[in-house]
């Protein structure tokens, strides 16, 4: 389902009783509300913070899923049945995205107007001089390791073609895999540090940061980190393919 990023009014008037109604149901009369486009955080009535209590998120997800279950709308109007189906699908998308740390971060950046693929494509143009045939830019701190790894991968491929065995190369690649897996873990820890910075920018009772400078700064840190992470993930995929 397409992501809809308009900022829906949190409390539009209920179509049935006219009272202020939240995203899913009207608190006053309990009627299901029209399927407005909504960001995934507001589906769960959460501020756009990145540290999320995923156990609470799961409980909310099941609670809301039960309230939206089609069986409960068997005697409702066709319109209400349609809304319940649409909202169920919106709720599923929101839950799937928010429960996953990387998907959640990428989604927040999307809300901030950043498409990560675009980012890495632009970056590639500015750093093509590395000589690597990668679609993505090589993070500067990895240049040497990536250069070495590409040679090892090439050698491994040639060995395979010739039907030769070189335990030395296999061991080198296994070591490289361990090293890059460690880097992935380091990046995850680093990302959580950025989450803390981001969350601190959101004042109590607000859903978004007010400090625009801080917002841009932390946003850029997260973009850079996710790009580095996807670069390393691709390297690991190459290594695993070579070792398979």
Q: Interface residues with Zn ion (CB under 5 A)?
A: 14, 16-17, 19, 26, 28-29, 31
CB of 63 to Zn ion, least distance (A): 20
Residue 196 CB neighbour total at 10 angstroms: 13
CB of 13 to Zn ion, least distance (A): 8
CB of 10 to Zn ion, least distance (A): 15
Residue 10 CB neighbour total at 10 angstroms: 14
CB of 43 to Zn ion, least distance (A): 19
Residue nearer to Zn ion on the CB measure, 10 or 127:
10
User: Counting Cβ atoms within 10 Å, is residue 190 exposed (0-12), middle (13-18) or buried (19+)?
Assistant: middle
Residue nearer to Zn ion on the CB measure, 14 or 222:
14
Detail the DSSP E strand segments found in the chain. 12-13, 20-21
Tokens of 10: 């949190």
Cα separation, 198 vs 209, whole angstroms: 8
Cα separation, 12 vs 9, whole angstroms: 6
Residue nearer to Zn ion on the CB measure, 29 or 216:
29
**Contact in structure between 54 and 48 (CB atoms under 8 Å):** no
Residue 141 CB neighbour total at 10 angstroms: 9
Residue nearer to Zn ion on the CB measure, 79 or 182:
79
CB of 30 to Zn ion, least distance (A): 7
Contacts of 33 (CB under 8 A, 6+ apart): 12, 14, 15, 21, 22, 23, 24, 25, 26, 83
CB of 45 to Zn ion, least distance (A): 17
Residue nearer to Zn ion on the CB measure, 28 or 200:
28
Task: Decide: helix, strand or coil at residue 30.
Answer: coil
Residue nearer to Zn ion on the CB measure, 15 or 170:
15
């Amino acid at each position: 389902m397409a992501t809809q990023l308009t900022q829906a009014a949190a409390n539009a008037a209920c179509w049935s009783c006219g009272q202020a109604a939240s995203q899913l149901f009207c608190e006053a009369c309990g009627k299901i509300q029209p399927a407005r486009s909504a960001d995934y955080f507001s589906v769960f009535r959460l501020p756009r913070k990145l540290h999320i209590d995923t156990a609470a998120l799961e409980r909310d997800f099941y609670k809301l899923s039960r309230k939206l279950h089609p069986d409960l709308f068997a005697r409702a109007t066709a319109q209400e049945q349609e809304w319940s189906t649409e909202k169920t699908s919106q709720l599923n998308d929101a839950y799937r995205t928010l429960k996953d740390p990387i998907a959640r971060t990428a989604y927040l950046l999307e809300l901030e107007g950043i498409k990560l693929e675009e980012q890495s494509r632009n970056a590639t143009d500015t750093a093509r001089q590395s000589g690597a045939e990668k679609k993505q830019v090589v993070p500067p701190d990895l240049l040497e390791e990536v250069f070495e790894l590409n040679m090892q991968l090439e050698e491994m491929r040639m060995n395979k073609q010739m039907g030769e065995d070189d335990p030395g190369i296999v061991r080198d690649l296994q070591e490289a895999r361990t090293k890059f897996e460690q880097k992935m873990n380091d990046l995850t820890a680093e990302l959580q540090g950025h989450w803390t910075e981001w969350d601190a920018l959101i004042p109590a009772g607000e859903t978004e940061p007010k400090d625009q400078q801080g917002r841009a700064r932390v946003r850029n840190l997260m973009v850079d980190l996710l790009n580095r992470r996807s670069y390393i993930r691709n390297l690991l995929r190459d290594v695993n393919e070579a070792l398979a």
